[in-house]
Structure 1
Amino acid sequence: MFSSREPVLPCTQAAPGGLPPSAGLGLKTEHFGEVLDTRPDIGFFEVHAENYMVAGGPFHHFLGLIRAQYPLSLHGVGLSIGAEGPLNVDHLQRLKALIERYQPQSFSEHLAWSSHGPVFLNDLLPLAYDTPTLNRVCEHIDQVQNSLKRPMLLENPATYLGFERSTFDEPDFIAEVIRRSGCGLLLDVNNVYVSCINHQRDPLAYLDALPLQAVAEIHLAGFAEDADSLGDRLLIDDHGAPIDQAVWALYRQALQRTGPMATLIERDNQVPVFDVLLAEARQADEILLGAGGRS
């Protein structure tokens, strides 16, 4: 029984097989055919769970063929872990059925909320980091892990504002959630960089404050850049651009602290041809080789 009082094993030990310490790609429908035809040397593929919460159809046909050849990671965007109301039980049951169907090596969700009552907002919204929120997030993670009968990974968010009522720093809040719930950490390096630039924090200090012993997967992505009302830099986690050199540099620093780790290249907007994403995966693999990874 998973509970917030008796931590369970981290995902790095409990996930079936675990993801290999190599680069993976987000699997896009426009690349199904090329992946099956060329069978690229990729460590794993990741899909958004909500795109597959139906009984059948072409998405499942192709994912089944690809899953037979590659490790798989499921990444959720709709559980609304931080919502004030209860989790959507129907959504959780559909997620459970999907995990039982594909037996992914990893399942992850976001430290965010996206629902209020019956209304679902197509966004990942920030939380106030205080004790009531901590209790609620831990209770929701307990419910997810008990239902799925496996630990999940929790992704650190990209944020653009903070709450005056927060009594925890974000890394301390994440550490306490992981300590109490026993879930693992999905370290999104791009989110670390985006949030730290937006809040004028030191990315390395933020990184060092996280519970890095709980990391079981890393995400890398690109961002868009704007300016806020004061003219300061404002970064937007849009997953629509190549990975920035500053994020690559922070990734190297992260691997020095975690050791080689499964690393996903994310691109959800302005998706390029497959070879462009494959080149970024190769770049991550070269860095992983230097850290002792890429089995």
Structure 2
Amino acid sequence: MNHSLTAGVSLKPQYVAPALAADAAGLWFEVHPENYMAEGGRRLAALAAVAERWPVSLHGVGLSLAADEAPDRAHLAALRRLIDRFEPALVSEHLAWSTRRGAYAPDLLPFPRTAGALARIADNIGRMQDALGRRVLIENPALYASLAGHAFTETGFLYELVRRTGCGLLVDVNNVFVSAHNLAYSAEAYVDALPAEAIGEIHLAGHTLDDRIAGGLLIDSHDAAVSEPVWRLYERLIARIGPRPTLIERDDNLPDFTVLMAERDRAHGLLTGARELADA
């Protein structure tokens, strides 16, 4: 683990002032780079101010790595400029697709985990890492329905991506919990099967229940506190792999900064405990 990073918080415009005033060991902040791909402006200046004080991470949502086409070169170039300017501690992107032939869907869409998809996505990750000049962490998706045609388990697919490309993994524990509930498999078995050495970051977030569907559908909404079952799954993961930089991810229904920091402090305490056990 990068010993300067323990637990961080999603940075939103209303959190900039308290972020600059914060005083917490191991604190860091993460942003979606797509919100900062500009030549200037107030938002970019705010990120620069935070980056002067704290480590930052760039968590991409727009490269559409699972699409049947190469990542957009202009997008990669804009992301590279941000990386060169801010030298982020971590860079990550989603295992999903959202663009095709110039059309864009405002969602992170699933795909069948076939041999062809593996080769295509591995190639796209290679193109991305070459363009950015660094290793990138790939995030596991949140899933809502079963797709036909899978040739790999999700953890097996992630392992192959790591093996073929040298990428790392961002493990979103809430995504694991949501997908396991919705597709009726074991979240515990999933986190136990992940390749520990590849995991460079962890996300924790809240979800909501849509009870209009029989059995209830969990939605990865990022608009609520981290649930207790997700905290327990997180503890199980770090007990096996050791401490990793962990983000409290919140994108909607934003609470006061102190509320997020309380969740962040809980994660920090768990990471500190895991580090002490690893060093004992």
Relative to the length of structure 2, the TM-score reads: 0.95
* TM superposition shift of 1:37: 3.4
Counterpart of 2:64 in structure 1 is 80
Counterpart of 1:232 in structure 2 is 215
State the Cα deviation string for residues 16-60 of structure 1 (Å, max 9, x = none): xx4734110111101112222344555211111100000100111
Stretches (4+) displaced over 6 A: none
CA contact (8 A) 2:4 2:26 kept: no
Counterpart of 2:14 in structure 1 is 30
Counterparts of 2:157 and 2:121, CA distance in 1: 10
* Matching residue within 159, 167, 171 for 1:187: 171
Identity %: 43
1:208–1:200 CA distance, 2 compared to 1 (3 A): same
Counterpart of 2:250 in structure 1 is 267
CA contact (8 A) 2:65 2:71 kept: yes
* Matching residue within 267, 271, 274 for 1:291: 274
* Matching residue within 134, 154, 176 for 2:160: 176
Counterpart of 1:129 in structure 2 is 113
State the Cα deviation string for residues 218-276 of structure 1 (Å, max 9, x = none): 000000111364x1131110100000000000010000111011100000011111000
Counterparts of 2:4 and 2:243, CA distance in 1: 9
Counterpart residue identity of residue 28, structure 2: F
Counterparts of 2:265 and 2:229, CA distance in 1: 18
Counterparts of 1:38 and 1:142, CA distance in 2: 37
Counterpart residue identity of residue 122, structure 2: C
The equivalences for 1:65-144 within 5 A come to 65-144=49-128
CA contact (8 A) 1:128 1:162 kept: no
Unaligned runs of 5+ in 1: 1-11, 13-17
The alignment partner of 2:275 has SS state of coil
The alignment partner of 1:251 has SS state of helix
CA contact (8 A) 1:265 1:280 kept: yes
Counterparts of 1:104 and 1:37, CA distance in 2: 20
Counterparts of 1:145 and 1:194, CA distance in 2: 29
Counterparts of 1:251 and 1:39, CA distance in 2: 25
Counterparts of 1:208 and 1:239, CA distance in 2: 24
Counterpart of 1:9 in structure 2 is none
* TM superposition shift of 1:290: 1.7
**Higher RCO, Cα 8 Å, sep 6+:** 1
1:197–1:60 CA distance, 2 compared to 1 (3 A): same
Counterpart residue identity of residue 217, structure 1: E
Instruction: Please state if 1:44 is matched with 2:28.
Output: yes
Counterparts of 2:147 and 2:113, CA distance in 1: 8
* Matching residue within 189, 195, 198 for 1:214: 198
CA contact (8 A) 1:24 1:264 kept: yes
The alignment partner of 2:21 has SS state of helix
Counterparts of 1:191 and 1:185, CA distance in 2: 13
Instruction: Please state if 1:282 is matched with 2:259.
Output: no
CA contact (8 A) 1:20 1:261 kept: no
Task: Report the aligned-residue RMSD.
Answer: 1.7
Counterparts of 1:178 and 1:86, CA distance in 2: 19
Counterpart of 1:246 in structure 2 is 229
Counterpart residue identity of residue 148, structure 2: E
Counterpart residue identity of residue 275, structure 1: T
Unaligned runs of 5+ in 2: none
Counterparts of 2:245 and 2:260, CA distance in 1: 16
Counterpart of 2:133 in structure 1 is 149
1:92–1:129 CA distance, 2 compared to 1 (3 A): same
CA contact (8 A) 2:5 2:26 kept: no
Counterparts of 1:188 and 1:132, CA distance in 2: 25
1:223–1:192 CA distance, 2 compared to 1 (3 A): same
Counterpart of 2:148 in structure 1 is 164
